[in-house]
Amino acid sequence: MSIPIRKPLCLLPTPLHRLDGVSDDLGMDVWIKRDDLTGFGFGGNKGRKLEYLIPDVLASGADTVITCGSIQSNFIRQLGAACAMVGVACVAVVMDKPYEFELPVENGLRAESGNRLLGDILGIQWEVLPNGTWDTLFDALADRATALRAEGKVVYEIPVGGSTALGAYGFLQAAIEIREAAFDAVVFASSSGSTHSGLAYGLHGTSTRVLGIACDPEPEIAEEFAALGQALAELVPLPIRLQPSDYSVDFRFVGAGYGIPSEAGQAALEYLAQREGIFLDPIYSAKAFAGLLEMARNGEIGGKVCFWHTGGTPAIFAQADAGHAR
């Protein structure tokens, strides 16, 4: 097996512990994987990806890294931290609310707070565009990278969310941290795909169901996950090739769209904070935990279940109105 070079950034393994109150409420055995406590760049799962992406950046000789996403992107925030540590410029081409199909409703997040504020502290070079489609954002990323190269910069491009084969490898390794716990299911927020692909390959062949709760309404997203997973399988290499049908992606909890908090998510956020003293984020993990709660109450999952907390809590501080679910 080929082992990518790792730069230790996170405090690993992250804690894994039982949620006693939630377990009592649901009548099942619920555990939580605390990637909100990775200890790097304000926490979150993206640090796992960057442990393998950053060595590749340095090996390329790049002096500038460029990526794109929402202005409240958790990946951009942690990428900015990693780039600052190794002396590489970080350029982020962002929109407040990129969308797939049509202009979304107001998301209730302040653009200048949360991850944007932390990014300013880290020295991220922001290029903020008017809201538009993801394709428009991707084109702007390519144009900005071309312009930087014309200026003489050595540029390393990273796609949205750090979802590359190296990013997925970070979560192939993460799966090792729960393989021996024999969970019946692991539930987590699923969006750009490297978390989902890495866990799907890492837990393949075990009895653990890998259940992604979609935070992005794109209907063909499983095909993208499969392509990313196959790139991972070629990188390592691995003897298996998972197909789109092998990825469980539940779209019921997306709400009004990507980057927009949902009523069910807000209720889940408040419930876990008050029941266990653990905060979720309104964009990803709250929606995923709302999915876990409903699936448990409907009998869709049971036994011993792990909720993988992917972090993202700075977005709480960008909420213009907490929007209490009660």
Active centre residues (catalytic) = 73
Alpha-carbon span 264 to 272, nearest angstrom? 12
Q: Strand 125-129's sheet: what is its strand order?
A: 125-129, 89-95, 64-70, 155-157
Alpha-carbon span 79 to 46, nearest angstrom? 8
**CB 265 within 8 Å of CB 253:** yes
- Helix (H) / strand (E) containing 70: strand 64-70
Alpha-carbon span 39 to 51, nearest angstrom? 13
Instruction: Identify which of 234, 227, 243, 230 has the alpha carbon closest to the alpha carbon of residue 1.
Output: 234
Pairing of strands 29-34, 125-129: unpaired
Angle between helices 46-60 and 74-86 (to 10 degrees): 40
Alpha-carbon span 142 to 167, nearest angstrom? 20
240: DSSP letter: -
Task: Mention every residue, 6+ apart, whose C-beta is less than 8 A from residue 76.
Answer: 67, 69, 90, 92, 94, 115, 119, 124
42: DSSP letter: T
